[in-house]
Structure formats: structure tokens, C-alpha cells
Chain A
Amino acid sequence: MDVRPDEPEAIEGGATPGRPRPAVRGLGDRVFRLVVRAGGMAVLVITGAVGIFLTARALDALRVAGLKFITTQAWQPDAHRFGIAAVLTGSVFIALVAISVATPLALGTALFISEIAPARVKRTLISMVDLMAAVPSVVYGLWGLSFFQSHSIGVARWLATWFSWIPIFKVTGADPTNPLASRSVYTASTFIAGIVVALMIMPIQCSVMREVFSQAPAGEREGAFALGATRWGMIRSVVLPFGRGGIIGGTMLALGRGLGETIAVYLIISPLFRINIHILQTGSISVSSLIALRYSDSSALGISALFAAGLALFILTLIINFTASTIVAHSRSGAQSDV
């Protein structure tokens, strides 16, 4: 690219022929590079400005709260009592519920599309998964609020009745022996929000996994079959080991996406600023729904506090995303794929 044919002196008087010649650019190329570099700079300035502004405003609040920012559960910025202990763990709980529901579905669907589905429906199925990722989150939220919430109470009550000896399934205030007990203790919970978020993140996870599975080398697949493996034997010994990086990477990417989900969570949960490990019980909070909830009626310090919470979430997502892309890039299947 750098070698131009119209360089007579370089060709005729080249004392050292092997030395790379400096590129001579025309005016057009210089202008082109200038414009394109300006575009790159502009993007850097915009994204950098967001990051710097976010950090700067967050520092105002962090200076007030100090180290207590990490341990405080309440959110009362004007009383100088605020922290991310409840909101960030709430986000993480919702994302974890979402991941544990979405992973089996995504893995099964990805394996189905890449290994079982006949070739003629494969493209349609892939499109459907992509479409699922493009459905607006408010639509999922709407579905969760008006359909799923009321229909999942039975499941929640069953889990609470039989598995309450596991701390996360315990519901305080519920009385399983009383058939007329109020069902409202099971609504607006982390569990319901998590399942709605699961529907949103599942397609991302699924498409990363499917992409990686479809790259499993045909030679090794045929080798497994030739040694007498059944289809599942082949999947277990060739496809799954090959795609391990994609499975882990896709799951973490989806986790990052689930942490930032706002509207669906906002619509479903009822805010509770306390660490609530009982996922079936009413009351939860997440960073992004906190921001949507409190941005309008906040003082300057309140906004700073929201920025601090946003920054904490951003850093967490960033760590997860970079870990995911590193895992994918260093896995055997990640050499060609872009995640």
C-alpha cells in the first residue's frame, strides 16, 4: 500500500535496494487521512468525554461518601447516606438469575441449530434468534409485567414451599399452609425480573455459542463418527470442547448485558434498598433502575451519587466484557471469530 509506482528517483538512484522507501502521498491521500483521522479522534473525544465526565462527577459523590459507598445499603444522598451495597448486589442477583435460566436454553438452542436442525431451516432459525435480540426491551418488560408476573406465582410458591431450607428460596411472611394467604409476597421479585431479563440476554448468548459451534472442524466431527460415536458422543467429544471458549465468553457477554438492563427491571420490581437474598420475595433494586427512578428528583449531589453508581456498574460490566473477549480470543475457536 505504501509503495507508489511514481517515484523515479527511488527506483533509479536506489543505493540500498532492500531499504523500505518512505511513502510519498498525494494531496488527496493526505486530505483523506486527515479526514478519517479526524473521525477517529472525534469518536475518541466523545467516548472519552463520557468516561471522564462520568468519573469526574462520580468523584464528587465518592468524596462525600468515602469508603462507606461500598458498604452502605440505603440511598439517601441528601442525608449523605448512600452506597452501592444493595443496588449493585441487586443488579448482580438479577443478572445471575437471568444467566442461570438463559444458559441451558441458549446452549440447547445453539446446539440444536448447529447440530440437529436440517440445513433448509437453519437460516430461518438463526434469523429468529437475531430477531429475538432486536425485540425492544420494553416489549419484554410489558410481557413480564402483564402476563408472566401473575402466571409465575405458582412456581414461586412451590419453590418457596418445598425449598425454603435453601436460603435464597426462603420467603419471609409467606404461609404455605394457609390456602388463602396473600400472594403478593411473591410478586415484583428478583426472580421474575431475572427471568424476563433472561429472555433478553438469551439470544446474545445463543448466537455467540452457535457461531463457535459451527466452526468446529469437520474433520474431527467425521473422525468421531468414524470411531463409532453417536451424535451426542460427537458433540461431547468434539463440539463442546472446541466451543468451550465461546460458551464461557458468550455467557459473560450476556451477563454484562443483563447487568445494564433498565426498563424491564424498572417495570417489574418494587424498589427496596436492602440486600435481599430471598430472590422469590417482593423487593429488589438494580443500578440502572435506580438511575431511571431517581434522576429527576435529585439534587446536584444526588446526580453525582447516581453517576457514582453508574460508574461502579460500568466498571463491573467493563471487567466482565474484557474477560469475556480475552477468553474467546485465547480459546481454540476464537482465532477467527469476532465477539
Chain B
Amino acid sequence: MLWQLFWTFFKIGAFTFGSGYAMIPLIEQEVVDKKKWFDKESFFDQFSLAQSAPGPFAVNTAVFVGYKMRGKLGAFVSVLGIIIPSFVIILLIAMYLSDFSENVTVISAFKGIRPAVVALIAVPCVRYFIELKKWQMPIAIAAAIAIWLLGVSPVYFIFGGSIIGIVTTYFKKP
């Protein structure tokens, strides 16, 4: 079982690119359709909780799947599986790309890549923004400007948001 968990998440870690959202279909296919560790509904139920925890979605998903199958050890082994492929690949790039970065070809490629990366970050931002409730929108804008222009650490916004969330719930009628 442990080996199966490790191998399943190793494959997911090695073959999914981009953001955590890109990994969801692959994880679902492995865990729900192929291995039948979860039924579809309870998988997405737990996944929505995984989204509310800090950290990469893929790691959080590995934790709850691993935990359900083999407890804490299962969670640990699954996380290890999902991390090892990225770790090895990035380490190789970090060790050898530093020589490349002086390379004229690499420099001009990155001139093209940089605006593309900004677009890839801007798209999910706009998508999430229009899904927010009306009262949440000004808060999101204020947070973005404070982090961007004033260099305020996002940590304060997560902290502050949690406290306001608790206080307002306390004063709201159940």
C-alpha cells in the first residue's frame, strides 16, 4: 500500500505541469477512477478543504489521500512521492542553468517568456476576482495594492483576515 501511494503520487508529480489546478484531473483519474480509493463526491469534498489549507494544492491532496489510506505514514509517503520528481528536476536545472544564463540564446528566450509568465498569473487572478462576492472585491484590490506598492508582507493580510473572520462570525447570529 505504501509503495502504491508513493508510486501514484510520484507519477502525478512527474507528469503534471503548471498550477495545482492542472493536477486535479490527473489526481482524480488516478485516485478515483483507477484505484477507487475515493468516490467522486467525497474526493471533491475533501479537496475543497484542501484548498482552504496553506501550501500547494498537490501537497495537500497527497496528505488527505495518503492519510485516508494509511494514516500519518501514508500522508508522509505520498508527499514524498509528489515532491521528489520536482526536486530532482529543478536541482539539475539549478546546477546547470547558472552557466546557461550568460548564454545569448537563453537571454533572448527569457525576454519573450517574461511577459507570458505575467499573463499566466494575471488570468487566474481575473478569474477568481470576478467570482468574489461584491463586498470582497474592494478588500482584494486594497490587499493587492498594499503588497505591490508598499511591499507589505501578505502574512499580515492572512492574519488580519482570519481575525476579522472570527470576530464577525462571533457577532453574527448563527
Q: Are A and B a genuine interacting pair, yes or no?
A: no
